[in-house]
Structure 1
Amino acid sequence: MGNSEQTFKKILEVAYVMFSENGFDKTSLSMIAKEVGISKPAIYYYFQSKDQLIEYLFEEIYKEIKLEITFNYTDISKDNLIQKLLEIGYMSIEQQEKDIHFNKIFNQYMLLASRDEKYMKRLLELQACFLDGFYDLLKYAVQIEAICDSNIKAKAHMLAMVYDNIGNFMLTGIELDYKEIWQEAVDSVFREQKGKI
């Protein structure tokens, strides 16, 4: 990796942390440049404005979240579906425990979306991905006869909402057994299925 690429990566890493800790309004390009170890004019080589940097970071986060909820059906079977669903939630919880900045910066984007239609549209697309991703997964579960076709849309949406909101609760610092909560959500989807298939 060349110096230019390393600097670009460092700008993104520093901006990610500073925006999450201070918010967009209280973080300037000068502050980011100083932390990176470059001059303020040098940062303009990479980003023409703070807004461009904020947008670029958002798109990177957006892609990462979409990838996280893109389920690979090839390794999901009737026998391992519940375990795979549990793993999806556990992995997300573990990632959020490791990255203390993620929920903070995501909340900054939610605030930004309240006054910027472009971000609101992208966040709504992301919410639709969550809802559709879990719904498609449960439709697939019906196809492989791992679950009955009974209220699967509502069940999928419940899973999506629990999955999404665990991160919000983690941000508050409330110490809950998030893995147990996710397990209960998954178990509730399959509880009535036992003995029916």
Structure 2
Amino acid sequence: MSAESIKQVALRKFTENGFEGTSLSEIAGEVGIKKQSIYCHFKSKDELVLTINQEVIQEDVQFLTQFFDRLKDSPLQQLLHSLLQEYRDKYVHNKKYKFMFLMSYIPPKHLEVYFTHTYNIHLLHLKSLLQAAFSSAPELGVTPEEGIAAFLTLFDGLMAQLVYETPHSFDNAFELSWKVYWRGISL
């Protein structure tokens, strides 16, 4: 038994059942240990979920840095469109990203301030990367600040489609709203 196997099972359980719907007993049972053994690694369920979240946010910050570096020579339209599609795919295929957005949009009440704060770390990093991308984009019909604010609003709305609806509803909303967004910021 390791802290890593506990975190992997907990990540899946939190993603499937939410924080309130997941017990340490369930996690322990799936790992093949007694509940008390979890306390050798984590003081509480809160510490377990916060540890997972911290690791996921760090992974996301690293992903964003690599993504923007990889597409730094791409047109802004391609970069932004690809970013939205990449997050959709990560949410659907990677439990860590599903966890990150679930906890950001539907956090445990008593940890809401913490999850809001850590999600803001993600947004601040994304904003700084977007600032550089928008600043180097040729001739847009909006200021970088306006383009970024509109993009983050689109991003947030599309992620809400994944959390509260389905990937199919994301796809429909993405197809419709992307055209309007891009038309609105380009010359």
TM-score normalised over the length of structure 1:
0.74
- Equivalent residue in structure 2 for 1:131, among 115, 121, 127: 127
AA partner of residue 56 (structure 1): T
**Which residue of structure 2 aligns with residue 195 of structure 1?**
none
Aligned partners of 1:64 and 1:111: how far apart in 2? Answer: 20
Aligned partners of 2:180 and 2:127: how far apart in 1? Answer: 15
**Which residue of structure 2 aligns with residue 57 of structure 1?**
52
Distance 1:123 1:75, change over 3 A: closer
**1:95-106 alignment runs, 5 A limit:** 95-99=90-94, 102-103=97-98, 106=101
Cα pair 1:103 1:168 within 8 Å, conserved: no
Give the aligned CA root-mean-square deviation in angstroms. Answer: 3.0
Cα pair 1:89 1:182 within 8 Å, conserved: no
Distance 1:114 1:38, change over 3 A: closer
Cα pair 1:159 1:185 within 8 Å, conserved: no
Higher helix share: 2
Unpaired runs of at least 5, structure 1: 193-197
**Which residue of structure 1 aligns with residue 36 of structure 2?**
41
Cα pair 2:101 2:159 within 8 Å, conserved: no
**Which residue of structure 2 aligns with residue 14 of structure 1?**
9
Aligned partners of 2:92 and 2:107: how far apart in 1? Answer: 24
User: 1:54 deviation in Å?
Assistant: 0.9
Aligned partners of 1:74 and 1:127: how far apart in 2? Answer: 19
Distance 1:168 1:19, change over 3 A: same
User: 1:158 deviation in Å?
Assistant: 1.1
Unpaired runs of at least 5, structure 2: none
**Which residue of structure 2 aligns with residue 24 of structure 1?**
19
**Which residue of structure 1 aligns with residue 103 of structure 2?**
108
Aligned partners of 1:139 and 1:101: how far apart in 2? Answer: 31
3-state SS in 2 of match to 1:25: coil
Deviating more after overlay: 21-30 vs 124-133: 124-133
Distance 1:182 1:84, change over 3 A: farther
AA partner of residue 160 (structure 1): L
3-state SS in 2 of match to 1:69: helix
Moved over 4 A (4+): none
Aligned length: 182
Q: Percent identity?
A: 20
User: 1:103 deviation in Å?
Assistant: 3.8
TM-score normalised over the length of structure 2:
0.77
**Which residue of structure 1 aligns with residue 118 of structure 2?**
122
Alignment of 1:86 onto 2:55: no
